[in-house]
Structure 1
Amino acid sequence: MRWLLGAAGLALLGYGVYGWLDAPTHELAGRLIFAAIALVAHDFVVVPLVVVAAALVTRFVPETARGPVRAGLAVAAVLTAVALPFVIGAGRIADNPSAFPQHYARNLAILLTATALITAAWITARALIARRRR
């Protein structure tokens, strides 16, 4: 399975490199700037936030609930990262109301609530299973 996933990752990496090399040369500078910003944001924003969150979970969450809480936080982070440009309206054009037709903030709140409820149910199920084993 590890080899299969590695091969799939290399194939996707190759496809991405091909896309970069196949792009018009006038777009290359913008793509390099985007890649640099993404790298800096990852290393100086995302990684420190993950380290702080992991430390807080380790310190304040009981051991039996740490796995579900970490998974719930990871899902919430990905959902927020994907939805945030839509919530803030990045790229919205004033004379085209159909460009962003949904209530993205409400929908993100619904998804985050569902994530929290599923995480709570997972923790509860683990607690009940642990109680039965005793």
Structure 2
Amino acid sequence: MRAVFAALGLAAVSYGAYGLLTDRGANPLGQLAFVAVLLAGHDFVVVPLVILAGVAVTRWVPEPARGPVRAALVVSAAVTAVALPFIAGAGRVAGNPSAFPQSYGRGLAVVLTVVWTVAALWTAANLRHRR
């Protein structure tokens, strides 16, 4: 099974490389730089922040709340990462107000409120179950 997945992965990468090298509008060096910046940002920014958050949760959050807080942090980070370009208005066109028709900041606040409310209820259930 591992060999099958390795072959499928190699085929996908080969197809992507072929498309990158043969497309007239492609900028392989620019795309390589983009990927390098993403990888460096992941390894030197995201990973240390996740590790620090894990240490902080382990050190300062009581045991019954650790699971809910960890889950809420993961969901909050993912939702915020998706919402930030919309909140910042990346790609906004002045002549097309329908391109960003929602209040994305308010939407993010609502989603985060729901996430952390669920985490609080989960923690309360954990505490009740222990007693």
Aligned pairs (5 A) from 1:102-117? 102-117=102-117
Aligned counterpart, 2:73: 73
Helix, strand or coil for the counterpart of 1:93? coil
Q: Distance in 2 between matches of 1:129 and 1:10?
A: 48
Question: Does 2:80 align with 1:83?
Answer: no
Q: Could you say if the C-alpha distance between residues 22 and 119 of structure 1 is closer, same or farther in structure 2, counting changes exceeding 3 Å?
A: same
State the 1:16 CA deviation: 5.9
State the 1:21 CA deviation: 3.2
When the two structures are aligned, how many residues end up with a matched partner? 127
Aligned pairs (5 A) from 1:27-38? 27-38=27-38
Greater C-alpha Rg: 2
Q: Note the residue ranges of structure 2 that are not aligned, 5 or more in a row.
A: none
Which is worse superposed, 104-113 or 30-39?
A: 30-39
Percent identity, please: 50
Question: Does 2:16 align with 1:19?
Answer: yes
Aligned pairs (5 A) from 1:50-69? 50-69=50-69
State the 1:17 CA deviation: 5.5
Q: Distance in 2 between matches of 1:75 and 1:29?
A: 34
Residue type of the partner of 1:31?
A: Q
Question: Does 2:120 align with 1:123?
Answer: no
Q: Distance in 2 between matches of 1:49 and 1:70?
A: 13
Q: Could you say if the C-alpha distance between residues 96 and 72 of structure 1 is closer, same or farther in structure 2, counting changes exceeding 3 Å?
A: same
State the 1:19 CA deviation: 3.3
Q: Could you say if the C-alpha distance between residues 113 and 32 of structure 1 is closer, same or farther in structure 2, counting changes exceeding 3 Å?
A: same
State the 1:22 CA deviation: 1.6
Q: Distance in 2 between matches of 1:102 and 1:112?
A: 17
Q: Could you say if the C-alpha distance between residues 27 and 115 of structure 1 is closer, same or farther in structure 2, counting changes exceeding 3 Å?
A: same
State the 1:29 CA deviation: 2.4
1:7-30 Cα distance to aligned partner (Å, 9 max, x none): 5x9857854663353232533223
Query: Runs ≥4 in structure 1, deviation > 4 angstroms?
Result: 9-14
Q: Could you say if the C-alpha distance between residues 16 and 72 of structure 1 is closer, same or farther in structure 2, counting changes exceeding 3 Å?
A: farther
